[in-house]
Amino acid sequence: MQYIPVLPTYTKTVLFTKTNFSNITGKFLFNLTLIPVERLHFIDTLTKLIDPDSFVNLTKISTLEISRNYELPQDLISPILAYTPKIRTVKLTSNRWTTVPEDMFSGLHNSSISVISLKNNWIVNISGRHFFGLHFLQILDLSNNSLSQINFTGFESTSISTINLASNHFTKVPSFCGPTAQLTGKYKTLKLQQNYIRDLDGSSFQCLQFLHNLFLDKNSVSVIRSNTFAQLPKLEKLSMTFIGDHLHTIEGYAFNSSSLKNLDIGNNRYKFDKLPWLYRTVFASLPNLLSLDLTGNSLPSESKALGELFTNLNKLEKLILENTALKALPRNVFQNIPNLESLILIGNYISGWGDDPEVFGNVTSLRSLYLDGNNIKPVNKTSFPEHFLNSLDKLCLTNNPYTCTCDLKWFVDWIKSTKHTIIVNYPRRYACRYPPEMNNVLLKNYNPTTKICSHIDYPLIRNICIAVFVPSTIILIVVSVGYKFRFRLSYWLHILGIKRVGYKRIESDTDYRYDAFVIYSTVNRDFVFNYMIPELEDKAGCRLCIHERDFEVGRFILDNITNHFEHSKNIILVLSTAILNSEWCTFELSLTQSRTAIEGPGVLTVILLEELDTAILPSTVRAILDTVTYTEWSQEKSKQSRIWAKIVTALNTHKDGVDLL
């Protein structure tokens, strides 16, 4: 291009790239004076010379960019800017500069420059004195250079509020103090992403009393020490993501800050459960925190531990727990975050919560719930409390492996009828997975009728008939008592059924879904999740049935127990005093006694966690111990290895009457 053509009069932005403008003059730019151009960009234009007064007649120009022009002398920049005092944004990027002349921006006291970008160069040294006297300068971008240190003295004469030092060579946070420890500027935003910073402590952020936003992503920080950010009284946003395997310790009160509102430490693969004594203090002293993002870290599986981790976050409104390896929803955790409005649980292994009212019961503030990408199969009327569901503005359950049977009818009908709650991404990402003939069928095309699923209403019809023929007074008493003890009545009905009919054995091994059904008290869940699952599932490749993880949402607990019990090849009993106080464990022991009577004691493996007084044992437990040799758990790692080896052998053998422990 040898000249600039006349452009439409409405043109405000002009960008030249991949041209050959070796010499830029006022005459060459004449046609641009005919339009109200505000933003002018010369990118890779092979420019070698620019007359200082080239832009004088462009009276509306506010942004000037000269980038990827490798042969342009740096000493031309200062006179160009001096002739155009109305320019507010200057971009001098990707010019392969290793240094910046100290007088490049000198003599510009009357300049209106508020933004300077020198990113994507090779600059190794620069200081605040380069920008001395730029009174209106607010934003300075020095990202993607080769800086390892910087002297901030000189910035005090500017209005600097945002400085970008990302993608440089800093190994520690540079000092923002002057020679006498005075402030060099009222910095509000500091970007230090993708450097090589390893150490952080309370002295790292001095002279930054006005800082609001701090970005430390993609550094090499190994330890976040106590009170690291306590010297930042106005800090509101802190981002420390993608540190990866470098981060191995977060000390108690590490994020201590009364002003912090947004904390993002996602995608660090940090395992919070390796320092359990710090649960209560990791996020302590954050009274004004509104948003917490823990994406891509590993959270403890125990509800009590999670509750301690999030204790005292009374103002928290948004909690992101995406890809945090959660296998079950915690109990009594979300109720203790009284202002929680948005909960994101995407990409975990949650299969259900057993209609447990202590998961979402009494949660009144939540407005958005995201459970997409989990392992949820059925959702029915008892999955969510009615008041909780009615309070949601958004519900996302996409990409779950739904089982399209009558158990899902309520959910399908509710999706189609609800007008208050937005079902995110419906219908595109709501599809059946089971049974096989329904695979990939969208839920909107699954239409179970009341007639087909009417069998599930028989108890309701029976109760209605009784109510018609029995005096109202008696009915009220019977219904109220029956409702109060409904689970206990169902329990004893199952017990009587087992004693009368007996256990139904599956003939073919191929029909078993699990290698073993694990009977344990929730008091001993740490042993199951921290010892048994890693050894038997992760290392030995066994498939265990764990009620907290594998029971289906929306089914009665008794139905879940009997169904999963029948599809488990073996039984593992984790025996302790706590198990004797659980009605559900007592029911599972009755099933075990019935099954061992049919198949022999070889199906049962007993792990004794503690010494028991035989005098207090119920008859079912004494009968089991009389027929099966148990193994005693040991805290010695050498003995633990032998114990797990024996258990794996027992699970793989399954011979009637053969005692392998």
3-state secondary structure 611-658: CCCHHHCCHHHHHHHHHCCCEECCCCHHHHHHHHHHHHHHHHHCCCCC
Residues 92 and 2 in one domain: yes
Residue 641 lies inside a defined structural domain of this protein:
yes
**Mean pLDDT across the chain:** 87
Predicted local distance difference test score (pLDDT) of residue 500: 42
| Ranges 36-50, 198-212, 379-393, 434-448: which has the least confidence | 379-393
Give the pair of three-digit tokens for residue 354: 């057993």
Is the pLDDT confidence value at 467 over 70? no
C-beta atoms surrounding 476 within 10 Å: 12
Q: 26 and 51 in contact (C-beta within 8 Å)? A: yes
Give the model's confidence band at 16: pLDDT under 50 very low, under 70 low, under 90 confident, else very high: very high
Residue recorded with tokens 């493996």: 605
Predicted local distance difference test score (pLDDT) of residue 481: 54
pLDDT digits (tens, 9 = 90+) for 160-169: 999 999 999 9
Last residue of one domain, picked from the residues 475, 492, 527: 475
Give the pair of three-digit tokens for residue 407: 């158990």
Is the pLDDT confidence value at 508 over 70? no
Domain of 454 in residue numbering reads as: 367-475
User: What is d(CA 259, CA 407) in angstroms, rounded to the nearest whole number?
Assistant: 48
Query: Strands, DSSP E only, in 462-506?
Result: none
Residues 525 and 468 in one domain: no
Q: How far apart are the first and last CA of the chain?
A: 88
Predicted local distance difference test score (pLDDT) of residue 433: 93
For residue 80, give the H/E element and its range: helix 77-83
Q: 621 and 604 in contact (C-beta within 8 Å)? A: no
Last residue of one domain, picked from the residues 146, 169, 192: 169
Residues 6 and 138 in one domain: yes
Q: What are phi and psi of 63, to 5 degrees?
A: -130, 130
Please give the single-letter amino acid code of residue 655. Answer: K
In Å, the largest CA–CA distance within the chain is 106
Q: 14 and 39 in contact (C-beta within 8 Å)? A: yes
Residue 604 lies inside a defined structural domain of this protein:
yes
Predicted local distance difference test score (pLDDT) of residue 36: 94
Please give the single-letter amino acid code of residue 643. Answer: I
Report which of 503, 530, 511 is spatially closest to residue 604, judged by C-alpha positions. Answer: 503
Predicted local distance difference test score (pLDDT) of residue 510: 63
For residue 526, give the H/E element and its range: helix 525-527
Predicted local distance difference test score (pLDDT) of residue 353: 77
C-beta atoms surrounding 56 within 10 Å: 15
Predicted local distance difference test score (pLDDT) of residue 198: 92
Residues 109 and 41 in one domain: yes
Give the model's confidence band at 460: pLDDT under 50 very low, under 70 low, under 90 confident, else very high: very low
Report which of 536, 611, 608, 549 is spatially closest to residue 573, judged by C-alpha positions. Answer: 608
Predicted local distance difference test score (pLDDT) of residue 74: 93
Residue recorded with tokens 């109220």: 480
Predicted local distance difference test score (pLDDT) of residue 465: 53
Query: Strands, DSSP E only, in 356-410?
Result: 368-370, 394-396, 402-403
User: What is d(CA 273, CA 256) in angstroms, rounded to the nearest whole number?
Assistant: 20
Residues 383 and 525 in one domain: no
- Check which CATH number belongs to the domain holding 97 and give it: 3.80.10.10
Residues 424 and 541 in one domain: no
Last residue of one domain, picked from the residues 152, 169, 186: 169
Give the model's confidence band at 622: pLDDT under 50 very low, under 70 low, under 90 confident, else very high: confident
Q: What are phi and psi of 69, to 5 degrees?
A: -115, 95
User: What is d(CA 120, CA 147) in angstroms, rounded to the nearest whole number?
Assistant: 11
> Helix 472-484 to helix 486-501 angle, to the nearest 10 degrees?
70
Predicted local distance difference test score (pLDDT) of residue 387: 85
Residue 257 lies inside a defined structural domain of this protein:
no
Q: Phi/psi zone of residue 612: left (φ > 0), alpha (ψ -120 to 50 degrees), beta? A: beta
Give the pair of three-digit tokens for residue 607: 């792990």
Residues 471 and 524 in one domain: no
- Check which CATH number belongs to the domain holding 621 and give it: 3.40.50.10140
Q: If you ran DSSP here, which 8-state letter would residue 444 be given?
A: G
Q: If you ran DSSP here, which 8-state letter would residue 173 be given?
A: P
Is the pLDDT confidence value at 225 over 60? yes
User: What is d(CA 397, CA 412) in angstroms, rounded to the nearest whole number?
Assistant: 12
Predicted local distance difference test score (pLDDT) of residue 658: 34
Domain count, the chain: 3
Predicted local distance difference test score (pLDDT) of residue 483: 45
Residues 619 and 471 in one domain: no
Residues 468 and 529 in one domain: no
Residues 468 and 519 in one domain: no
Residues 149 and 8 in one domain: yes
227-231 contacts, C-beta under 8 A, 24 or more apart = 227/202, 227/253, 227/254, 227/256, 228/200, 228/201, 228/202, 228/204, 228/254, 228/255, 229/205, 229/255, 229/256, 229/257, 229/260, 230/202, 230/256, 230/257, 231/202, 231/203, 231/205, 231/206
Q: 609 and 635 in contact (C-beta within 8 Å)? A: no
User: What is d(CA 161, CA 146) in angstroms, rounded to the nearest whole number?
Assistant: 22
Residue 267 lies inside a defined structural domain of this protein:
no
In this prediction the pTM is: 0.68
User: What is d(CA 158, CA 623) in angstroms, rounded to the nearest whole number?
Assistant: 84
Predicted local distance difference test score (pLDDT) of residue 81: 93
Predicted local distance difference test score (pLDDT) of residue 463: 55
Query: Strands, DSSP E only, in 208-272?
Result: 213-215, 223-224, 237-239, 249-250, 262-264
User: What is d(CA 360, CA 373) in angstroms, rounded to the nearest whole number?
Assistant: 19
Residues 90 and 146 in one domain: yes
Residue 56 lies inside a defined structural domain of this protein:
yes
User: What is d(CA 403, CA 401) in angstroms, rounded to the nearest whole number?
Assistant: 7
Predicted local distance difference test score (pLDDT) of residue 492: 46
> Cα torsion for 22, 28, 32, 37, to the nearest 10°?
40
Residue 269 lies inside a defined structural domain of this protein:
no
Q: If you ran DSSP here, which 8-state letter would residue 329 be given?
A: P
Residue 616 lies inside a defined structural domain of this protein:
yes
Q: 611 and 592 in contact (C-beta within 8 Å)? A: no
pLDDT digits (tens, 9 = 90+) for 473-502: 676 666 555 544 444 455 445 544 444 434
Give the model's confidence band at 215: pLDDT under 50 very low, under 70 low, under 90 confident, else very high: very high
Q: 345 and 371 in contact (C-beta within 8 Å)? A: yes
Predicted local distance difference test score (pLDDT) of residue 506: 45
Give the pair of three-digit tokens for residue 565: 């019990």
Strand partners, 151: 127
